[in-house]
A and B are shown apart, each in its own frame.
Chain A
Amino acid sequence: MIVVRELRKYFGEVKAVDGVSFEARDGEITGLLGPNGAGKTTTLRMLYSLLPPDSGEISIDGLDPTRDAMEIKRTLGVVPDGRGLYNRLTARENIRYYGDLHGLSKPEIDERIGELIETLDMEDFIDRRCEGFSHGQQVKVAIARAMVHRPQTVLLDEPSNGLDVMSTRALREFIRGLKRSGHSVVLSTHIMQEVAALCDRIVIIAKGKVAADGTGQELLERSGCESIEDAFVKLIGSEEGLLM
């Protein structure tokens, strides 16, 4: 469960995040939708404690990223936009590295990698070096790496960037699986299809502020539009930087 209240982060004159509030509940998928540069990534970075907020409050399962950074990192699984795999290591070594950094024992890591190979269908490339992996394979390894310590809260920044149709379907299935097993999932995206297809709650962010939030149905009603896509465009006030 994530609770964000009046979050602000300025970089000099640029108001990257300017008073963002939302909640992300367990067993739900929350989508942060907004054009590129709206402040989604900055918001996520404050959630996973790499950026200190200028003001506002964050609580993740009762923990505050600025005070309990180490504890928060243990309960979070993060797939950042840049996948950042190590090309000279195999997929298995990449995942094991993060398991070791989380302080897991070798049998724990082995067991967990076994599970993840199955859920994410990585059998074919788990022992290959990541050099030359397809986008789909890279995302799978990045997800497995983020999930190795069984985090309760999962943050994904633009998870379907650069994926083909098949990989996108598999990714969505995986994210739904997380929801079913009671995780709190937050994903950021500028693709309207993605939130429409996946998210229980949608937080629309534009210019560092929350333009609207609620379920898909609520957003439709509030905007008075026929389709959810028209509703997004109307609520954000522009089509720029969004993808259908």
Chain B
Amino acid sequence: MNLRGLITVLRKETTENIRDRRAIFNSLLLGPILFPLMFIGIVWFTTAAEQERIQATLEIPVVGAERAASLIRFLEQQGVVIKPAPEDPEATVRRQEEMVVIRIPEGFEDHWSKGEPAPVEVIADPSRQESQVTIRRVKHLVASYGHQIGMLRLQLRGVAPQLTSAILIRDVDLSTAKSRAILAMIFLPYVLMITAFTGGMHLALDTTAGEKERRSLEPLLINPVPRWQIMTGKLLTTMIFAMASLALTLVAFKLVLPLMPVGAFGVDLTISVDGLLKILFVISPVAILAASLLTVLAAFAKTYREAQSYSGLVIMIPLIPSLIFMTNPVRPETWMMSIPLFSQNMLIGEIVRGEAVPLLWYSLSFGSTLIIGLVLAVVAATLYNRPRLIFSGS
């Protein structure tokens, strides 16, 4: 078969789009640079803020401090600064002036002296994420004081305190520094999925809807080249850009991940070159699927803008399995590997964890996604056999 027309189209579209700032931005800058930087930035920011709250001096207002003098002394010994009680503790917390207020209610001393559980109220709003560290620290301090006193009471009555701990739980932790990485890298499949779509998006739209809008499609189709070759040339260019975008994104993550501040907690965030290539292999049929899907949609649009509004919806597709997987993790099983997008999410997770993945899983995931991608590609390649689609908009 003479594929000269196809190759000519492929070469021309590549040259033209390399000269296009929008294409370069979308394919080669947005995914590969912005996403890794954004991620690193977010992680830096949250860990830094968390560290600060863990180390910061606790300054806690206490209502009714006079009822529990020894508890207050204990807290002060632990470095807590006790602040005077506010007028209305609940309102103070609600207005976010204080994260936590401790209240020693009336009757505390009675319960205390009778040896009954004496209530201490920790007033806070745990739905405010930023106050959770402080709440945890305060509860921990108060509870450990209670525990200490409990032990002392037993000892005074001649009972060995160990008797209350009938069982000792020992953690046998089988996670490795490598496998814990997935907790930090749960975003990676998600970013790669989006990149597979955004990487080729501009080209898919520009080479079809854009070409129609600029009115260059009609003269192009008057050339003696079968239409499927012209469309396939365009489709291949889109796929090449999407793949380049994915490869660059992976390289960027490899370079940037070691800079992450989580290394200290025993998480191994390096991905081997071997792992990178495996991920690229796993995700490559998604790039083909995405390019074909976007091209089919864009071919129906009259203008670049119209196509853009459709593709905004298409971008949501790769998010669905990623979000399901992030909020509701499941154990990978063989049949799941035949679901496009979903299987890639799971496989990338397994690769990042450093697990050995069965060859069958690779082939099922690759094959099922590729088949759907190719079916869509055939649809895309034959779309311009309909005159209605060539002339709409002119």
Contacts and interface: CB of A to CB of B under 8 A. Distances in A.
Interface of A: 45, 48-52, 70-71, 73-74, 76, 78-89, 93, 97-98, 100-103, 142, 145-146
Contacts of A100: 4, 8, 12
B220 A84 contact: yes
B223 A50 contact: no
Contacts of B214: 82, 84, 86-87
Contacts of A82: 214-216, 218-219, 394
B15 interface: yes
B20 interface: yes
Contacts of B226: 70
Contact of B225 (A45, A51, A101): A101
Contacts of B8: 97, 100-101
B390 interface: yes
Contacts of B274: none
Given A88-B19, A89-B15, A89-B16, A70 B215 contact: no
Nearest to B388: A11
A86 B16 contact: yes
A80 B218 CA distance: 8
25 contacts: A48-B222, A49-B222, A50-B221, A50-B222, A52-B387, A70-B224, A78-B222, A79-B219, A80-B219, A82-B215, A82-B218, A83-B215, A83-B219, A84-B217, A84-B218, A88-B19, A88-B20, A89-B15, A93-B12, A100-B12, A101-B5, A101-B225, A103-B4, A145-B219, A146-B219
Overall SS of chain B's interface: helix
Given A83-B215, A100-B8, 20 more contacts: A49-B222, A50-B218, A73-B222, A79-B219, A81-B215, A82-B214, A82-B219, A84-B218, A84-B220, A86-B16, A88-B19, A88-B20, A93-B15, A97-B8, A101-B220, A101-B224, A101-B225, A103-B4, A142-B219, A145-B219
B2 to A, nearest CB: 8
Contacts of A102: 223-224
Contacts, number: 78
Nearest to B21: A88
Contacts of B216: 82, 84-86
A84 B5 contact: no
Contacts of A87: 214
A237 to B, nearest CB: 27
Contacts of B225: 101
Contacts of B387: 50-52
A50 B227 CA distance: 11
A45 B222 CA distance: 9
A74 B225 CA distance: 10
Nearest to A42: B391
B61 to A, nearest CB: 66
Nearest to A145: B219
B219 A103 contact: no
A84 B222 CA distance: 12
A139 to B, nearest CB: 13
A97 B219 contact: no
Interface in B58-79: none
Contacts of A73: 222-224
A200 B220 CA distance: 30
A236 B34 CA distance: 62
Contacts of B219: 78-80, 82-84, 142, 145-146
Question: Closest 4 A-B residue pairs measured CB to CB?
Answer: A82-B215, A84-B216, A101-B223, A73-B224
A98 to B, nearest CB: 6
A145 B219 CA distance: 10
Contacts of B221: 50
Contacts of A145: 219
Contacts of A45: 391
A88 B211 CA distance: 12
Interface in B1-54: 4-5, 8-9, 12, 15-16, 19-20
